[in-house]
Amino acid sequence: MKTNKISLKEIVSHAKQYGFVFPSSEIYDGINAIYDYGQYGIYLKNNIKEYWWKSMIQINKNIIGLETSILMHPKIWKASGHVYKFKEIFLSNEDTKKSYRLDLLIENYFKKNNYLNKDLKKNIIKYIDKKLKINEKEKILKIINKMKILNPKNKERTKWTKIYEYNLMFKIPLKEHDGNKKFYLRPETAQGIFTNFLNVLNSSKIKIPFGIAQIGKVFRKEIIARQFIFRMREFEQMEMQFFIHPKQEEKWLEYWKKKRLRWHLSLGLGEKKYRVYEHEQLAHYANKAYDIQFKYPFGFKELEGVHSRTNFDLKNHEKYSKKKIRVFDNKKSYMPYIIETSVGLDRIFLAVFSSCLKKETIKKERIILKIHPALSPIKAAIFPLIRDKRLMAYAKDIYKKLKIYFILTYEDKDSIGKRYRRQDAIGTPICVTIDFKTLKDKCVTMRFRDKMLQKRVLIKDLKREIKKETSMNKLLKLLI
């Protein structure tokens, strides 16, 4: 069997052709960096969500879930530092007048010149931070031009002429023509967790160390938005904030880094696809941070962040809200530290979709989405072998009896070979075929997507067989 490589272009086209991801507002020519999930994409997305949610809430007795609002009190974003610090810094050049993110330009520069030492990189980043704070942008341009950072577009020397900062939050006025009170579309779900910390503490018996998890939409005015659903302006985050005693920061950071990596590995995409990178340039709230990176078709990129946020957020919410945010332990009160795990649902979707889409040739070529059966949109397809009335009635009856347990599909159009190909392309792990022998022996043929193996099973055992193959418990067991 030959396996051929699939390009990003083919991945995007497959996602659209088979109802996984559509460009948003396409009949109006689309809108940059915003996407819709189609009829199969939404199942895959929900399955990833369910797996994450269960792995956090169901199997950890000290993690609870929340769902907080997208719109929150505007002061929250001042306290969190997002109003002043949630910025990207861009450089533009004379040749193309295009903008590039400064941090990525520096990162690539040092990657290409790997003979330069790490300390130099740290010092340059420190210098830039310092100059930004006192608004000495010309000095930054000077050092960048001295470094001879190439124009990414044509890989040639360029003169960098402009440097500017850009806040990534979407601002919306509370009332029309109301310039003063600004609401923001949240750029992370975490703040809803911090601002409910006291509510959770007072309404439950939970004790430190404990975590609060949340899944929800967030919005960022990403300027450079490309690479399909990797960088979007509206996306979904799955975040867990773990509240700890300050003295245990290191221990829990390491614990969650390992635990999250194990979760990703359980998806079966291959160990080589992941690497852990320690941040040199920290977000405004972080003390120490790791990225779990994934090898996307366009290279290793951030999939998940595991950060120590210290008590940065709680301290500032205490200051801005004037409410004490403390826990009591042994008659002493203290402000907990926070370890955060933050992952983009859409980035996991892309990791799974892009690395599981395979082009295989055994005599004929077939495109097959080899995803873990627990994540597959459709768990089993029920087919009559041909469009014969008795076989169709039999197959429909099986479909009707099993549809309350699994997401199934019934199909009788086209040849059985074509139906198999269609199910392979959307990742259905099992096809069940009803043939004339079924009418006599009450057995059906189960065909397994990856092995192309077939076996006869009694209809009464079908539910158990499908469950065995597709249950999410199979994944959860890998975590404990």
Q: What is the H or E stretch that residue 300 is in?
A: strand 299-310
Report the SS3 class of residue 336: coil
If binding is defined by CB under 6 A, does position 419 make contact with ligand ATP?
Answer: no
Q: 60 vs 341, which CB is nearer to ligand ATP?
A: 341
If binding is defined by CB under 6 A, does position 466 make contact with ligand ATP?
Answer: no
If binding is defined by CB under 6 A, does position 469 make contact with ligand ATP?
Answer: no
Strand-strand pairing, 408-410 and 380-384: parallel
Q: 41 vs 305, which CB is nearer to ligand ATP?
A: 305
Report the SS3 class of residue 378: coil
Q: Distance (Å, rounded) from C-alpha 88 to C-alpha 256?
A: 27
Stretch that binds ligand ATP, among 40-48, 146-154, 339-347, 448-456 (CB under 6 A): 339-347
Residues 344-383 as x/- pattern, contact with ligand ATP by CB under 6 A: x-xx------------------------------------
Q: Among 14, 231, 309, 372, which residue interacts with ligand ATP (rule: CB under 6 A)?
A: 231
Stretch that binds ligand ATP, among 76-84, 341-349, 416-424, 450-458 (CB under 6 A): 341-349
Q: Give the CA dihedral 11, 12, 18, 20, nearest 10 degrees.
A: 110
């124009």: which residue's tokens? 151
If binding is defined by CB under 6 A, does position 305 make contact with ligand ATP?
Answer: yes
- CA–chain centroid gap for 172, Å, is 26
The DSSP 8-state label assigned to residue 309 in this structure reads: E
Judge whether 353 and 369 are in contact, CB under 8 Å: yes
State the alpha helices, DSSP H only, in 230-377: 249-266, 312-321, 345-356
Stretch that binds ligand ATP, among 298-306, 366-374, 386-394, 400-408 (CB under 6 A): 298-306
Tokens of 422: 């269609």
Residues 257-296 as x/- pattern, contact with ligand ATP by CB under 6 A: ----------------------------------------
CB 302 to ligand ATP: min, Å:
4
If binding is defined by CB under 6 A, does position 220 make contact with ligand ATP?
Answer: yes
Tokens of 167: 């806040």
State the alpha helices, DSSP H only, in 345-434: 345-356, 389-402, 416-426
Q: Among 249, 304, 424, 435, which residue interacts with ligand ATP (rule: CB under 6 A)?
A: 304
If binding is defined by CB under 6 A, does position 192 make contact with ligand ATP?
Answer: no
Residues that bind ligand ATP (CB under 6 A): 220, 222, 231-232, 235, 237, 302-305, 342-344, 346-347
